[in-house]
Structure 1
Amino acid sequence: MPQSAPVYVCQRHRATALHFDLRLEIDGVLVSWAVPKGPSPDPAQKRLAVRADDHDLAHAGYEGAYERAGRKVGSVVVWDIGTFEHRTRRGGEPLRASQALADGHLVVVLHGQKLVGPYALTRTSAPGPKEQWILVKMRGPGVEEGAEPARDQLASVLTGLTNDDLERAWRA
């Protein structure tokens, strides 16, 4: 029986600071990066992506409150969701996604509703408590030079709600 394509999700997460959580299903978990400015479909825009804790697959569709110490301190919406194809190669040969992750360079083709086409994630050598990576859109389908969907498209692809909508509902 063929395995279904792995999950890709990008959640708009307002907590201490607004950021986007880019998550890719690798070996049964959502491997995650916090992208402060959000992903860009413009190849000229390089985005910092800080490695974050992995999450279980059920988290892919999560929208709602972000709580700390039992208090609602922020919100999460599913900004984009879909599937992806892993395309990392070494010496012309395909490389397993888990090996590419360990090596610090992943190439994926996203099939989302807002983001499509090839993207690369590359680990940097910058020191710090968490791994720092760079996310960049590669040439190919989905290129939108000058576009800023992370700034201009705020609503969830699942519910149409924004972080502001969720937080207003808690205060009402």
Structure 2
Amino acid sequence: MVDELAEYRRRRGRETEPPPERPAARGGRFVVHEQRTPQPHWNLRLEREGVLVSWTVPRAVPRAPEEVRLAVRIDDQPPEYTDDAEVWDHGAYEALHWNDRRVEVVLQGERLRGRYSLVHRDDPAAGNAWKLTRLDPAEDGHEVTPRFLAPMPARPGPLPGAAEDGDWAYEFAWPGLRTILRVTGGRITAFDETGEEVTSRFPELRGLGAQLGAREALLDGEIVVFAAGAPDPDGLRRRAAADGGEARGLRHRHPVFYLVTDVLHLDFRSLLSSPHHERRALLDGLGLAGPHWQVPPSHPGDGAAVARASRDHGLAGIIAKRRDSPYRPGLANDDWIDIRHGRTGAR
């Protein structure tokens, strides 16, 4: 680890940096603890002078320079300190600058590798609030998770014929609100299909962000309300029109469920050009299951059987998606077909 830090200094040309206001310690160990519930946060701890100097970071340690995050100074802990939080990352660090107002370090962990600064806010009212910034460029291939992408629509059409049935995956067509969910720093932001933010309308979904933790994702799905095990259009209309306190009041009478059907970005990488079957495998691997969200099954092949099951459950139809199709935001095409009952003949 020491050799890696020496190589980092050589590459960065640290001899050109101005000297710190007072000599900085060589460094030591660092650890980041992750706490996902009830409010996700991460505790960054740097070993120094016999203690772990600590900050809590509500929205995760940034991975790119543009992702400036709040960090709140908290109590120091002994070097052997552990708690009930998960160790999200650990390794060695080198201190390049350290005083009561600014700390600059190079982290060499399993996940975090690079130069970071912690700067105390100048505002006297800031108290223990600091600003945490990554100073190095993001890792190669890093792509900031988009705020919003228009959902890809399905084009009305008939059931694919038997000869090409295996080229398709089939899902139930849920009568819901198409919703894009952006998950960053353990928090969610929900957008309707026009791009309007609707997060406050669906407070039940906040736990999904905590479940993903520091993973970042852009998800596509449907918000549905059920009553007696069947979709409830009236309940959905009421929830779609409610906001803030009214939404919180309705969540027990008309709870919403987010049915996640696709993942468009994951861990700072775009998946738009990946084939549908690969995106679905990644989505299934996220383990998204909670009291108000789940990943409904996608069935490769046997579209006629899926259509019959949809009809038996009182749904309007199914969606067929080519297994090798990319995700084209906002663009209807023949890769996704909206098949309504009564229109299930071969193409």
TM tier relative to shorter chain: 0.5 to 0.7
Alignment of 1:31-42 (within 5 A): 31-42=53-64
Report the equivalent of 1:80: 89
Taking a change above 3 Å as real, the CA distance of residues 44 and 141 of structure 1, as seen in their structure-2 partners, is closer
RMSD, matched Cα: 2.8
Number of the residue aligned with 1:17: 39
1:131 equivalent among 110, 128, 132: 128
Structure 1 range deviating more: 113-122 or 134-143: 134-143
Q: Which amino acid aligns with 2:89?
A: D
Select the residue among 104, 114, 122 that pairs with 1:117: 114
Q: Which amino acid aligns with 2:131?
A: I
Structure 1 residue 140: Cα displacement = 4.9
Q: Which moved more, 1:143-152 or 1:22-31?
A: 143-152
Would the alpha carbon gap of residues 117 and 142 (structure 1) be closer, same or farther in structure 2, given more than 3 Å must change?
A: farther
Aligned equivalents of 1:140, 1:117: Cα separation in 2? 9
Secondary structure (helix, strand or coil) at the match of 1:87 reads strand
Larger Rg: 2
Deviation at 1:141?
7.3
Q: Which amino acid aligns with 2:66?
A: A
- Cα gap change, 1:133 to 1:5, in 2 (>3 Å): closer
Matched, 1:45 2:39: no
Note the C-alpha offset of 1:28. Answer: 1.1
Q: If each structure's helix is expressed as a fraction of its own residues, which one has the higher value?
A: 2
- Does the residue aligned with 1:57 lie in a helix, a strand or coil? coil
Q: Tell me, in whole angstroms, the C-alpha distance in 1 between the residues paired with 2:143 and 2:92.
A: 23
TM-score, length basis structure 2: 0.33
- State the match for 1:146 in structure 2: 144
Q: Secondary structure, in 3 states, of the residue corresponding to 2:215? A: helix
Identity across the alignment (%):
33
Moved over 3 A (4+): 140-145
Deviations 1:128-159 (A, max 9, x none): 5x410000001257474527682347xxxxxx
Structure 1 gaps of 5+ residues are 65-75, 89-96, 154-172
Tell me how far apart the structure 2 counterparts of residues 57 and 32 of structure 1 sit (CA, whole Å).
11
Q: Which runs of 5+ in 2 are unaligned?
A: 1-25, 146-183, 186-213, 217-266, 268-347
Give the whole-Å Cα distance in 2 for the aligned partners of 1:141 and 1:44.
9
TM-score for the superposition, normalised by structure 1 = 0.64
User: RCO higher in 1 or 2 (8 Å CA, sep ≥ 6)?
Assistant: 1
**What is the distance in 2 between the residues matched to 1:83 and 1:141?**
19
On the 8 A contact 2:67/2:133 being kept in 1, the answer is yes
1:54/1:142 CA distance change after superposition, 3 Å? farther
Distance 1:29 1:52 in 2: 12
Secondary structure of the corresponding residue to residue 66 of structure 2 = coil
Secondary structure of 1:84's partner? strand
Q: Does 1:8 align with 2:30?
A: yes
Mark the CA change 1:142 to 1:54 in structure 2 (over 3 Å): closer, same or farther: farther
